[in-house]
């Protein structure tokens, strides 16, 4: 039996393009002699469709698409993922389903049993979990078909009280197939391989795994579909961050073979390389899927905006990136020079608009109210917000999308101005800690100097008052980032972080800052997620509350 794994990029709610893409791959696979073509979880509607799943019309459109797809399944079978009505009298009315389609008809339906409802996942919001498990018979083979999380109930940390394969294995299947929509995080590829390998060896079955690829606003699906033998050995791996279709033969001996050169990686790429690739895909799909081409951003001469500019130029083409230098009376000459060098290195478009006349007009207008009170955060924020007004005016006039350039460390402690530098359509490095931003800059410069060395080596500064440095208000970033990681990623208490060797007042101050900034993060743009715990849908905190300390 020849099986094609189709790792494709879907668009949420775009039934026309998703259906056309699925059909064309079925036809191509059929021409290449495939008996079965396997697509990813919820491929018909895209993932995550969120509350569109609560619209009956949305589910009906999925059903219509499935009918169109079934029509082409003559002399070739396919597995597709879609939400379906279950018509049960109790429980939720939807299932997260896989259709096995053969001879133009739906021959079997498998429903997902384990519904992830943590971090960015909300599947229990929509779906009823399945409690029935049956193998699918096809061309003399028994297929144990499961959907994503169904294989993720680990032995060490069982999050659920059932395990679908423990039921299916009693029906003596020949092969496991798992269809998934598993989003990227920099450590997720290794975790995925380990858990799937464990399944293959535990059940002594070969395993074919198909993931989605492509970004859906903040979530980036990295592809990297996988094939294991019945000892749990990884025998093939589809490319990451791009579409692909590959063919495998399940022999009479239930051994999987393939003709193409293995794309198995000999070593895992470094985290920072993965993050780089993920962000490029995230930017590209955000623009492509929302019908925009041109990005704009403010360049300060600092490392954050430089990295974002370089990423945008790589993702969209330098000709589609407008960088704007917005100097104030506190901007240093070297910052302007660093920004100009970057523009020259990248070849992107650039404008310079000084903000002094604007901030002076605002301060003059506020003179009766402010009445010679000393310069403070109010005047600092006026600068940041004046820049945002100019950038947004350019967006409104010319059709750009503004890229947000805040990093995760700043977003964590609220070191940014709401409606100022926290503006944007999408946050490019909002899930990248400052120490990782330095790594990204060095990675971008791996072949030649793109980001001016001076932007990398000078002490970070917001330049909103004379001689300001980030370290005036914050600990050094290597210390700050470790505290942030402990609190955000690992949900440690201050006592536990202090025990790791960090200064008590610093730890308490940082955690206090994190919690005080919830109201700011509530209003920030969606953040491209590259870590296991990003701000946004994956981390849901109260705004008004008294916080842990």
Nearer to its own copies, 170 or 491 (CB): 491
Query: Which of 7, 216, 328, 345 is close enough to bind its own copies by CB under 8 A?
Result: 216
Q: Assess 20 for contact with its own copies (CB under 8 A).
A: no
Draw the binding track, 250-289, toward its own copies (x: CB under 8 A; -: no contact).
-----------------------------------xx--x
| Site track 284-303 with its own copies (rule: CB under 8 A), x = hit | -xx--xx-------------
Q: DSSP for 327-347? A: --TT--HHHHHHHHHHHHHHT
From 21, 30, 41, 482, active-site residue: 41
Nearer Cβ to its own copies, position 160 or 247? 160
Interface segment toward its own copies; rule CB under 8 A; list 15-23, 31-39, 177-185, 469-477: 15-23
* Residue 113, SS3 per DSSP: coil
* Complex with its own copies: residue 74 or 500, whichever CB lies closer: 500
- 386 interacts with its own copies by CB under 8 A: yes
CA distance 50 to 115: 14
Ligand-binding annotation for 301, yes or no, is yes
CA dist 84 and 496 (Å) reads 46
Residues 511-540 within binding reach of its own copies (CB under 8 A) = 519, 522-526, 537, 539-540
Pick the closest to residue 204 from 175, 237, 234 (CA basis): 175
What's the rounded Cα separation, in Å, for the pair 300 and 322?
A: 13
Minimum Å distance from CB 286 to its own copies?
Answer: 6
**Binding status of residue 247 toward its own copies by CB under 8 A:** no
What are residue 404's DSSP bridge partners? 427
User: Which of 157, 101, 99, 91 is CA-nearest to residue 130?
Assistant: 91
Q: Is 354 in the site for its own copies (CB under 8 A)?
A: yes
The answer to whether 500 contacts its own copies (rule: CB under 8 A) is no
Residue in 45, 78, 135, 148 annotated catalytic: 148
Q: Identify which of 279, 274, 273 has the alpha carbon closest to the alpha carbon of residue 312.
A: 279
Residues 469-498 within binding reach of its own copies (CB under 8 A): 491, 493, 495-496
Asked if 72 is part of the footprint of its own copies (rule: CB under 8 A), the reply reads: no
DSSP-derived pairing of the beta strands 226-228 and 219-222: unpaired
Residue among 108 and 513 whose Cβ is closer to its own copies: 513
Residue from 75, 96, 76, 74 nearest 85 by CA: 96
CB neighbour class for 508 (10 Å; exposed up to 12, middle 13-18, buried from 19): middle
Q: CA angle, corner 80, sides to 230 and 160, nearest 5?
A: 60
358-394: burial string, b at 16+ Cβ within 10 Å, e else: bbeebeeeeeeeeeeeeeeeebbbbbbbbbbebbbeb
* Beta-sheet strand order (sheet of 175-179): 136-138, 141-147, 175-179, 207-210, 226-228, 234-237
Q: How many residues bind its own copies (CB under 8 A)?
A: 95
Of 217-246, binders to its own copies (CB under 8 A) are: 217
- Determine if 75 is a binding residue for its own copies (CB under 8 A): no
Task: Name residues contacting its own copies, limited to 87-116 (CB under 8 A).
Answer: 89-92
**Is 300 annotated to bind ligand?**
yes
167 among the known binding-site residues? no
For its own copies, which residue of 261, 266, 267, 369 counts as binding (CB under 8 A)?
Answer: 369
Residue 423 known to be catalytic? no
Is 117 a residue that touches its own copies (CB under 8 A)?
yes
Q: How far is CA 310 from CA 285, 458, 463, in A?
A: 17, 18, 22
Give yes or no: 41 in active site: yes
Q: Which of 112, 141, 289, 408 is catalytic?
A: 112
| Residue 107 falls in the annotated catalytic set | no
Residue 63 marked in a binding site: no
Distance, CA of 72 to CA of 543 (rounded, Å): 51
Copy the structure tokens of residue 98: 């896989």
Question: Distance between CA 44 and CA 182 in Å, rounded?
Answer: 16
Burial 197-222 (b: 16+ CB within 10 A, else e): bbbbbebebbbbbbbbbbbbbbbbbb
Q: Which of residues 144-183 bind its own copies (CB under 8 A)?
A: 158-161
Q: Which residues 431-470 are close enough to bind its own copies by CB under 8 A?
A: none
Both tokens of 357, joined, read 């006349």
Q: Does 211 bind its own copies (CB under 8 A)?
A: no
Segment 31 to 60, residues that bind its own copies, using CB under 8 A: 46, 48-52, 54-58
Q: How far is the CB of 370 from its own copies (least distance, A)?
A: 6
For residues 445 and 451, is the Cβ–Cβ distance under 8 A? yes
Q: Is 416 a binder of its own copies (CB under 8 A)?
A: no
Task: Determine whether the annotation assigns residue 53 to a binding site.
Answer: no
Q: Which residues are annotated as a binding site for L-glutamine?
A: 118, 182
Residues marked active site are found at 41, 112, 148
Q: Which residues are annotated as a binding site?
A: 118, 182, 298-305, 381, 405, 410, 520
Point out the annotated binding site for ATP.
Answer: 298-305, 405
């Amino acid at each position: 039996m020849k099986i094609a794994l189709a790792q494709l990029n879907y668009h949420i709610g775009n039934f026309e393009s998703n259906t056309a893409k699925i059909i064309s791959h079925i036809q191509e696979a059929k021409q290449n002699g495939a008996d079965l073509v396997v697509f990813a979880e919820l491929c018909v509607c895209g993932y995550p469709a969120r509350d569109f799943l609560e619209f009956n019309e949305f589910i009906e459109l999925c059903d219509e698409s499935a009918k169109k797809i079934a029509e082409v399944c003559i002399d070739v079978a396919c597995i597709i993922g879609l939400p379906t009505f279950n018509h049960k009298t109790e429980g939720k009315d939807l299932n997260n389903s896989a259709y096995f389609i053969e001879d133009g008809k739906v021959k079997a339906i498998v429903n997902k049993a384990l519904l992830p409802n943590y971090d960015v996942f909300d599947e229990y919001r929509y779906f009823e979990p399945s409690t029935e498990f049956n193998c699918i018979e096809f061309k003399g083979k028994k297929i144990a078909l499961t959907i994503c999380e169904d294989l993720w109930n680990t032995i060490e940390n069982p999050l659920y009280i059932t395990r679908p394969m423990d039921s299916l294995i009693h029906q003596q299947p020949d092969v496991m197939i798992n269809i998934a929509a598993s989003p990227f995080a920099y450590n997720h590829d290794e975790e995925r391989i380990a858990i799937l390998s464990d399944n293959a060896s535990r059940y002594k079955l070969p395993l074919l795994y198909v993931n989605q690829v492509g970004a859906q606003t903040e979530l980036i699906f990295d592809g990297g579909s996988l094939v294991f033998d019945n000892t749990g050995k990884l025998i093939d791996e589809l490319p990451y961050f791009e579409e692909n279709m590959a063919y495998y033969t399940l022999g009479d001996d239930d051994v999987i073979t393939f003709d193409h050169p293995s794309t198995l990686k000999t070593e895992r790429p470094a985290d920072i390389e993965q993050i780089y690739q993920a962000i490029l895909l995230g930017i590209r799909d955000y623009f492509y899927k929302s019908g925009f081409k041109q990005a704009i951003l403010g360049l300060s001469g600092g490392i954050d905006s430089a990295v974002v500019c370089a990423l945008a130029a790589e993702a969209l083409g330098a000709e589609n990136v407008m960088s704007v230098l917005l100097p104030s009376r506190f901007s240093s000459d070297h910052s302007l020079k660093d920004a100009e060098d970057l523009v020259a290195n990248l070849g992107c478009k650039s404008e310079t608009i000084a903000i002094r006349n604007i901030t002076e007009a605002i301060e003059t207008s506020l003179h009766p109210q402010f009445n010679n009170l000393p310069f403070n955060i109010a005047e600092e924020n006026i600068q940041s917000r004046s820049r945002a007004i100019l950038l947004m005016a350019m967006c409104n006039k010319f059709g750009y999308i503004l890229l947000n350039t805040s990093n995760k460390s700043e977003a964590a402690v609220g070191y940014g101005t709401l409606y100022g530098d926290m503006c944007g359509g999408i946050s490019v490095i909002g899930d990248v800690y400052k120490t990782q931003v330095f790594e990204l800059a060095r990675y971008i410069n791996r072949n030649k100097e793109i980001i001016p060395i001076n932007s990398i080596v000078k002490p970070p500064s917001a330049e909103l008052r004379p001689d300001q440095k980030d370290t005036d208000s914050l600990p050094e970033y290597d210390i700050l980032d470790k505290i942030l990681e402990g609190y955000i990623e690992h949900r440690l208490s201050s006592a536990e972080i202090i025990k790791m060797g960090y200064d008590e007042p610093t730890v308490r101050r940082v955690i206090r800052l994190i919690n005080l900034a919830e109201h700011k993060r509530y209003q920030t743009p969606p953040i491209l997620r590259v870590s296991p715990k990003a701000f946004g849908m994956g981390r849901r905190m109260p705004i008004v509350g008294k916080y842990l300390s």
